[in-house]
Structures are given as C-alpha cells and as structure tokens.
Amino acid sequence: ETGVTQSPTHLIKTRGQQVTLRCSSQSGHNTVSWYQQALGQGPQFIFQYYREEENGRGNFPPRFSGLQFPNYSSELNVNALELDDSALYLCASSFVGRGAGELFFGEGSRLTVL
C-alpha cells in the first residue's frame, strides 16, 4: 500500500492571496478529509469528500473549498488568506466500510501567511 502524500510540505503566502494544497490518498481509499492544525492545538475538521462530493463540513468559512478527483486525489483551496490561516494542513484518507474514524494521515503542508 502506498501512504498518503501531501504537497507542498512548506509554503509561505501573503495575506489576501490564494493557496492550493494537494493530497494523494492511500491506495484503495475512497474518502478524504482535511484538517487544520494550528500551532499547539489539535487538528480541526475542515471537510470530507466521498465520491467527489463534499459530505461533511466543520466550522470553516466558504473560502475554504475542496475537490476530490476520480483517482481519489484531493485539493484544498483557501482564498483571501488571513494571518490566522497559518497552520499545518493535514489530509487523511479512509475507506467507507472500514472502522469509523480510522484515518490514515499525510505528513501535512505547513502554511505560513505573512
């Protein structure tokens, strides 16, 4: 099995810009979710995609959006970046039918907004 891979690993943006983060799910997994982990905090659920549609969303504004592709890779897009968006963004994949909450995480993309 290949693991979950994310790119880029680090990036720096300025306030107001837009960013796209990418994730390649673990082989055989059909669900992907994204989490934001601010410094010193636990991860917070952003949203989840299953069969290329969003099927769950946390308390994040619409400027956080995503896509899931037929090969189960995924993107997280954030528009109009704010300083508070600085965080580690984690992608996690899973398989519907497997144990609930059993997620396989990538190493994350660390975003710094200046």
Partner 1 sequence: AQTVTQSQPEMSVQEAETVTLSCTYDTSENNYYLFWYKQPPSRQMILVIRQEAYKQQNATENRFSVNFQKAAKSFSLKISDSQLGDTAMYFCAFTLGGANNLFFGTGTRLTVIP
**Chain residues that interact with partner 1, rule: CB under 8 A:** 3-4, 31, 33, 35, 40-45, 48, 56, 58, 90, 92, 94, 99-103, 105-107
For residue 86, count other CB atoms closer than 10 A to its CB: 17
Minimum CB distance to partner 1, residue 73 (Å): 17
The CA distances from residue 41 to 14, 25, 64, 74, 105, in Å, are 23, 24, 19, 24, 17
Which lies closer to partner 1 via its Cβ, residue 35 or residue 72? 35
Minimum CB distance to partner 1, residue 32 (Å): 9
